[in-house]
Amino acid sequence: MWTTVALISLFTVAGIWATDRLEPYWGEDPSRVVVDEMVGVWITLLAAPAGHIWYGLAAFVLFRFFDILKPLGIRRMENLPGGVGVMMDDVLAGVYGFIVLIVARWLME
């Protein structure tokens, strides 16, 4: 798990750096940059036990729910400058999905 957390951190920093470099050419929050989505769903997947397909599917659905609707301050994250804004809205959506999935697992087990 700690390796995954380290990789999430590494890809977040790399995503901020890459997006800062690409925005002048590809425009603000370019859709071709998908590392933000990868990091966000990866964060939610931390709450899914290995080998449980239904928890993995629930993690994906929860991440997409928060990423699309952008409640609870997620939309404000987009206002942060450059690559930070691109990455942080998905990071926060991932954190919210993680929290919901952990609570759901706790209630069901």
Phi-psi region of 31 (alpha: psi -120 to 50; beta: other; left: phi over 0): alpha
Question: Mean pLDDT score of the chain, rounded to an integer?
Answer: 95
Predicted local distance difference test score (pLDDT) of residue 109: 78
Mean pLDDT of the region 70-83: 94
Q: Does the pLDDT value for residue 30 go beyond 90?
A: no
Mean pLDDT of the region 62-91: 95
Phi-psi region of 73 (alpha: psi -120 to 50; beta: other; left: phi over 0): left
Predicted local distance difference test score (pLDDT) of residue 27: 85
| Neighbouring C-beta atoms of residue 44, cutoff 10 Å | 29
Mean pLDDT of the region 88-93: 97
CA distance 15 to 21: 10
